[in-house]
Structure 1
Amino acid sequence: MIPWLDPHSTEFPPISEAVDDPNGLLAAGGDLSPARLITAYSRGIFPWFNPGEPILWWSPDPRCTLKPEKIHISRSLRKAIRKTTFDITFDRAFDEVIQACAAPRAYSEDTWISPEMQQAYKDLHTQGFAHSVELWQDGELCGGLYGIAMGRLFFGESMFSRRTNASKIAFTCFSRQLAKWGYALIDCQIENEHLTSLGAENIPRQRFQQYLNEYLAEQPDHSWHFDIDIDDVV
């Protein structure tokens, strides 16, 4: 049995107590308050649950991650970046990005990014923790992603595309920017084909914890503005 969180405390069980099946399930209950979410991410824990379920908290082993400087750009993606006219912005349309990420996908009508979850990350955005990346073409928002920045770590949450390769281009440009800012790691949470095609790989949870211990306390000095020439991305 997994423990239920104390509604009056933001503490979590040690991540070593997460179960193996399903991989990484640690606890249930609590809320999505900014204080609890910040505590969770700082411990290597994230919420993931379907609408109608209790809030579930996870810390899988292994953990899917990507070093920003190790972003893999395939020949086809490199060609797409060079041929596509687009603009990259940060935090210009956070609400639109998270709503787009929550929209049903072609392969599923379900979404785990409920209105409650959306509001929680909007609150974190207001407090300066959550950030969005937008890719624009002809003034239209065509792709992007959002997540949490703490120290020199970025915890990715979700991405979306409305045109071919839009999310991959946005993620690639963002990775280049994070590398320039000196970020150590992007947390991708759980491995999937889309992420591995961009260079993400699994590392042991203990190694991920070492990144948290080493880089969370560092405070990078930068504004959230994309300042890399597109030619330098590829």
Structure 2
Amino acid sequence: MAIYLTELDSNNLSFPSPFEALDDPNGLLAFGGDLSSARLVTAYHNGIFPWYGPDEPILWWSPSQRAVFDPKTFKPARSVKKFQRKHQYQVSINRAFDQVIDHCAALRSAEETWINEEMRDAYKQLAQLGHCHSVEVWQQNQLIGGLYGLSVGQLFCGESMFSLQSNASKIALWYFCDHFKQYGGKLIDCQVLNDHTQSLGAFELPREDFIKSLLSLRQQAVDKQCFQPQWLVQAEEQ
């Protein structure tokens, strides 16, 4: 059976409705276009994100079930809290964006990662424009974990995370959830549920519910101090 998939016009930033996405593969919506900052911002503001492998065109997705974290109800595991009390990792925001995204890419093989050089350059540009942000975890001044994603009003669209030491990405998520909530953040998108994100407390929303939340949250700003470069945790404060 023939499948119709929209090819994006390089001169037009518009996307088809997320509700036109395919059921198989789940959420595939369109292909082509580019990774310009304007197109990426448009995509995320409409519940759409790029994901594609080597030797594929740019593919755009909006899955039928969206994995999310609720900062209000997020709770780190007791073992992670105990670990942090002992090891006193430091946590910061927007102090090493380029390093975070490069680590997220480097920890996967070229065949596995979607974070290719083109993607990294595009998201680094978004960071320079104030749309993309990182959370960093440090031990003795060494970057050992973190995550990055885009801010869309009171929604944060998480893209990837990494750990070089035990529990580093879990601690990044924990402190970011607390911080984001304090500054007015309401929801964290992590795209597609997997065993790891589910173990951390992610749950699924039907596409309709996610888009409804997105349309509301994108209109509401978090406090402007939320994503200023800053320390969330320093060793001497533990």
Q: Same fold (TM over 0.5)?
A: yes
Contact 2:153 2:220 in 1 (8 A): yes
- 1:161 alignment partner AA: S
User: How far is the alpha carbon of 1:52 from its aligned partner?
Assistant: 1.7
Give structure 1 stretches of 5+ with no counterpart: none
Shift of 1:110: 2.6
Write the distance in 2 (CA, Å) between the matches of 1:109 and 1:143: 22
Aligned counterpart in structure 2 of residue 104 of structure 1, from 71, 82, 107 = 107
1:169-228 superposed Cα distances (whole Å, 9 cap, x missing partner): 111110110111111100010001111122110011111011111110112223225565
Count of residue pairs brought into register by the alignment: 231
Pick from 197, 219, 222: which aligns with 2:221?
A: 219
How far the C-alpha of 1:12 sits from its partner, in A, is 0.4
Aligned to 2:33: 30
Query: What CA distance in whole angstroms lies between the structure 1 residues aligned with 2:79 and 2:92?
Result: 23
Partner Cα distance (2:29, 2:79) in 1: 39
Match of 2:95 in 1: 92
Task: Give a deviation string over 1:63-120, Cα, whole Å, max 9, x none.
Answer: 00111122131121121122122211111111100000001348x8631100000000
The question of 1:79 aligning with 2:43 is answered no
Deviation digits for residues 104-162 of structure 1 (CA, Å, limit 9, x no counterpart): 348x8631100000000011001000001100000000000000012111000000000
Query: How do residues 1-234 of structure 1 correspond to structure 2 at under 5 angstroms?
Result: 1-105=4-108, 110-223=112-225, 224-226=228-230
- What is the DSSP-based 3-state SS (H/G/I as helix, E as strand, rest coil) of the residue aligned with 2:10? coil
Structure 2 unmatched runs, 5+: none
How far, CA to CA, are the matches of 2:117 and 2:73 in structure 1?
34
Measured in 1, the distance between the counterparts of 2:117 and 2:232 equals 34
Calculate percent identity across the aligned residue pairs. 49
After the TM superposition, which parts of structure 1 deviate over 6 Å for at least 4 consecutive aligned residues? none
TM-score (norm 2): 0.92
Question: SS at 1:133's partner residue?
Answer: strand
SS in 2 for 1:77: helix
Asked if the contact 2:91/2:231 (under 8 Å) is kept, the reply is no
Secondary structure of the residue that 2:72 maps to in structure 1? helix
Mapped contact 1:177–1:227 kept (Cα < 8 A): no
Give the aligned residue type for 2:62.
S
Q: Is contact 2:93-2:231 (8 Å) kept? A: no
Q: Equivalents in 1 of 2:11, 2:233: separation in Å?
A: 48
